[in-house]
Structure formats: C-alpha cells, structure tokens
C-alpha cells in the first residue's frame, strides 16, 4: 500500500499530536542537530551546547483525544474490507509521515530509519548520490539549482533549473524535499531514473543517472587579478569551516587586498559552521545571529575568535542562496562589513532541529525564527543586494561558468576594487 494513501487518510486526525511528541523527545534527547540541509533544503545546525527545545506545556486537550481507538478502528476496517493484503508496517510509516506533513511546514519532516541515515550523510560532505543541489520550486516539485563539476548529474546531462517530476516512476509532487533526496540517493553503481521538465523542451525528459560517491569540495579558492581573493562556498557542512579558514589564511599570505565570497546556489548547512566562519571575519564579541522561539525565548551567538579579515569584502548571492548563506550575508551586511552583489536571496529565516525518537527514526521540526544582528528576519522575503545584478541569460543553463564570462562576479570585483586603499 502506498504511503500517500494512509498519509492522506489520517493527517487531519493526527496533526496536533506531534506537538506533544516533539517536546517530550526533545527533553530526553539533548542531541546535537541540524537544520534543513540545502543539498536538499536550506538548513542550519541549531545546537552547539545541546538542542534547544520548547519548555512550555503543550495544550491540555492533546491528551483528551482518543487517537488510539480511532486508529485501531480504521486499521480494523481496512484489514477487513480492503480488497488486497495490507502491509501494516508501511501503513504505520505512512501515518507518521502524514501526521508531520499535516503541519503544513515543508521543513518539518518525519524520517524513518532509512531516511534518517541518508539525511545524516549530507552533513559529512561525502555521500552516494548524483551530485546536485536542489530546492523546492513554487509549483510543488524540486528544482535543481547546481550541478557539481564531474558529478554523475553532469555526466548524465542534467542542468541547473531542471525540475524533477518523478523519481523511478514515482510522482514526487508535494513530497518533502528531504524525503525526495533520500529517494535519489542509493548504493554506488545503482541507477536512478529521473523524469525532468526542462523549459523549452516539447516533452518530459527521462534521464538515467548512475549513482556514485560524491565528495563535494565545499570551499574552492583562488587569487584573482589585482590581489582579489575569491572563495566559493557551496554548502555549510561540517568540513566547511576549516576549509574556509585555510582559504582565508592562504589568500592572506598572498597579500590579499580584497575578498569575494561566492554563495550563489548555496542552500545552507549547519549553524555552528556559519558562525565559525563569521567569527573568522568579525571581531570577538560581536553578535552574529539570534533565534527566537514561539515562547519568545532567545538564543544568541557571538563571534568567538580574535582573528579578523580587514579588507573590503563582497558576497555574491542569488535566489538559491538560502538559510545559512543568508545568516552569513545578512550579518556582514548589517555591520557594513560586506557589499552584497547579485539578486534577492531565497528567504529562509526559520530554524529546525533534529529530534531522535529512540527507535532509529526522528523528526526534523521548525523550532524558531532567526534574526540578523540588526533584528531582521528575512523569511519569505530574502536579502536585497546592495548591487543588484542579474546573471546574463546566456549563462543560466551552464553547469560551470567561466570566470571571464561571469558578469555577476565582474560586478563584485568592481565593487571591492572601489573600496581598496593602498
């Protein structure tokens, strides 16, 4: 039986029960956790000293509803009348997924044990998949935002802005993005068939991709002409902070006079990573970001390093720069430390935490909103660039854009050059 059948059948009945489960599990499991992950969704790790969880008591009437009796009755009726045998393990799994999805928040997701294992792989920066970043399109289908160089996705001919319609013949409309990612990943050497909508094509494309170990270099850097350092950050993973520190150190040793940090198509990552990277730039003690939950409880993060970067900085961003990318860019914009160049960012200003349920499964649940140092919450609005520049139309379908053709990068170079003082 398909999960979607039971999910749709029971979501309205079960949606409010999740609140009690999250609070109790959160108190018993002060585990380190992460927000949505942008190779899948925009994400951020919310805990450095334990998982922040709500402390107020849930509404009393949650316990007054007799869920067990109604669920048992529905199961008995299905077992008696449904015309084919039923795998009730799959039915129950569908109930859990449906209960959480009924909240209506695309970033609050239930993971069964298999899905959780696949999701957690993304924090390591190395996994078996196809080598692309993806976000949820406004039409309810996932959209590819970046194709990594040399990846299975590039070899198969996938392009940025391709929209995923089916994975192995399954329509994925409305399915949580993190779950879609787990469906795309699989054993090394196995194949996944993707049905793609590509603008300008007369019909859907069916593209088979052979999965492989994907090691994403989350930080790449080089020195551009005029001693302008250029660092590309593709995701804020566990490995990224050290890679970023090393890149800044190497560029500084080469007499860097200005710095460009490229966060275009960067979907986010862990909060501890982005705050560590901001600490490398801003003086010790500066407020970097703060979060506020529905009980108006705040959690603040401050720069903890004595190292700073004292050269002009520009941050490149676009509509796929999300979550941790926006924490980074918004913080530097608030302090006047960086010029934002490009287009409006994605607009994800909410934070999730991963709450283990004790049986190998977990819930990733939105627990708070985040704010830049000046108190801005950019959820559903995004950051506005100081220097607005659209990428040239001819470059939008390229998986890799040569530096000499990149008009947005050129605008960032011009912006920092104007700030350089010898």
Instruction: Judge whether 348 counts as a catalytic residue.
Output: yes
Total-model pTM: 0.73
Instruction: Judge whether 303 counts as a catalytic residue.
Output: no
Catalytic residue among 323, 325, 368, 408: 323
Statement: residue 248 has pLDDT above 90 = yes
Q: What is the pLDDT of residue 255?
A: 96
Q: What is the pLDDT of residue 107?
A: 87
Q: What is the pLDDT of residue 396?
A: 83
Q: What is the pLDDT of residue 277?
A: 97
Catalytic residue among 279, 325, 352, 408: 352
Q: What is the pLDDT of residue 49?
A: 34
Q: What is the pLDDT of residue 5?
A: 37
Instruction: Give the whole-angstrom CA distance, residue 147 versus residue 131.
Output: 6
Per-residue DSSP letters for 48-110? SSS-----SPPPGGGGGS-HHHHHHHHHHHHHHH-SS---HHHHHHHHHHHHHHTT--TT-EE
Instruction: Give the whole-angstrom CA distance, residue 104 versus residue 99.
Output: 10
Instruction: Give the whole-angstrom CA distance, residue 354 versus residue 117.
Output: 12
Min mean pLDDT across 257-266, 277-286, 393-402 is at 393-402
Average pLDDT in the 269-280 region?
93
- With bands split at pLDDT 50, 70 and 90, how would you rate the model's confidence at 163? very high
Statement: residue 27 has pLDDT above 90 = no
Instruction: Judge whether 323 counts as a catalytic residue.
Output: yes
DSSP-derived 3-state class of residue 382: coil
End-to-end Cα separation, the chain, in angstroms: 69
CA distances from 369 to 44, 46, 97, 262, 299 (A): 12, 11, 24, 25, 10
- Residue 235's φ and ψ, nearest 5 degrees, are -160, 160
- Give whichever of 4-13, 36-45, 307-316 has the largest mean pLDDT: 307-316
User: Domains in the chain, please, with CATH?
Assistant: 3-38+45-119 (no CATH), 127-215 (2.30.42.10), 219-352+366-417 (3.90.226.10)
Q: What is the pLDDT of residue 253?
A: 97
Min mean pLDDT across 275-279, 309-313, 359-363 is at 359-363
- Whether residue 49 contacts residue 364, with contact meaning beta carbons closer than 8 Å, is answered with no
- With bands split at pLDDT 50, 70 and 90, how would you rate the model's confidence at 8? very low
Residue-wise burial string across 270-297, b where 16 or more C-beta atoms lie within 10 A, e elsewhere:
bbbbbbbbbbbbbeeebbbbbbbbeeee
What are the beta bridge partners of residue 292?
Answer: 298, 369
Tens-digit pLDDT profile for residues 200-231: 899 999 999 999 987 777 899 999 999 999 99
Catalytic residue among 257, 348, 364, 368: 348
Q: What is the pLDDT of residue 55?
A: 39
Tens-digit pLDDT profile for residues 110-147: 999 888 887 776 555 456 789 888 888 778 899 998 88
Statement: residue 22 has pLDDT above 80 = no
Q: Cite the DSSP H helix spans in 197-267.
A: 240-253
Q: What is the pLDDT of residue 32?
A: 28
Tens-digit pLDDT profile for residues 292-317: 999 999 999 999 988 899 999 999 99
- With bands split at pLDDT 50, 70 and 90, how would you rate the model's confidence at 351? confident
Q: What is the pLDDT of residue 3?
A: 40
Q: What percentage of the chain's residues is helix, strand, coil (to nearest 5)?
A: 30, 25, 45
Find the angle CA(311)-CA(312)-CA(317) to the nearest 5 degrees: 130
Average pLDDT in the 62-66 region?
62
Tens-digit pLDDT profile for residues 82-118: 999 999 888 888 889 999 989 888 889 999 988 888 7
Min mean pLDDT across 15-19, 192-196, 208-212, 407-411 is at 15-19
Statement: residue 62 has pLDDT above 60 = no
**What's the burial of 131, exposed, middle or buried (CB within 10 Å: 0-12/13-18/19+)?**
buried
Neighbour count for residue 240 (Cβ, 10 Å)? 25
């Amino acid at each position: 039986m398909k999960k979607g059948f039971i999910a749709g059948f029971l979501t309205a009945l079960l949606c409010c029960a999740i609140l009690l489960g999250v609070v109790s599990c959160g108190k018993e499991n002060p585990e380190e956790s992460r927000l949505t992950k942008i190779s899948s969704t925009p994400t951020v790790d919310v805990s450095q000293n334990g998982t922040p969880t709500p402390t107020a008591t849930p509404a009393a009437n949650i316990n007054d509803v007799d869920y067990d009796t109604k669920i048992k009755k529905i199961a008995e009726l299905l077992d008696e009348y449904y015309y084919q045998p039923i795998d009730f393990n799959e039915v129950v799994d569908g109930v859990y997924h449906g209960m959480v999805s009924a909240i209506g928040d695309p970033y609050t997701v239930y993971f069964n044990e298999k899905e959780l294992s696949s999701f957690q792989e993304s924090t390591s920066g190395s996994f078996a998949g196809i080598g692309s970043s993806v976000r949820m399109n406004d039409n309810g289908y996932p959209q590819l935002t970046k194709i990594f160089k040399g990846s299975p996705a590039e070899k198969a001919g996938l392009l940025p802005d391709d929209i995923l319609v089916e994975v192995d013949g399954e329509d994925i409309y409305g399915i949580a993005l993190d779950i879609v990612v787990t469906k795309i990943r699989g054993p090394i050497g196995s194949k996944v068939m993707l049905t793609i909508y590509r603008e300008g094509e007369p019909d859907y494309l069916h593209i088979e991709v052979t999965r492989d170990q994907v090691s994403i270099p989350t930080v790449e850097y080089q020195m551009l002409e005029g001693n302008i350092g250029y660092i590309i950050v593709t995701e804020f993973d566990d490995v990224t902070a050290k890679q970023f520190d090393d890149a800044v150190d190497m560029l500084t040793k080469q007499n860097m006079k200005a710095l460009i940090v490229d966060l275009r198509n960067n979907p986010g990552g862990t909060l501890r990573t982005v705050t560590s990277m901001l600490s490398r730039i801003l003086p010790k003690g500066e407020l970097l970001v703060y979060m506020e939950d529905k009980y108006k409880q705040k959690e603040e993060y401050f720069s903890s390093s004595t190292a700073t970067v004292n050269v002009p900085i520009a941050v490149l961003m676009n509509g796929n720069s999300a979550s941790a990318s926006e924490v980074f860019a918004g913080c530097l914009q608030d302090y006047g430390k960086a010029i934002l160049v490009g287009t409006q960012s994605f607009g994800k200003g909410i934070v999730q935490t991963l709450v283990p349920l004790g049986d190998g499964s977990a819930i990733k649940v939105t627990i708070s909103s985040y704010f830049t140092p000046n108190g801005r919450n950019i959820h559903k609005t995004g950051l506005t660039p100081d220097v607005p520049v659209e990428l040239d139309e001819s470059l939008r379908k390229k998986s890799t854009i040569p530096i000499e053709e990149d008009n947005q990068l050129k605008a960032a170079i011009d912006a920092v050059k104007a700030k350089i003082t010898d």
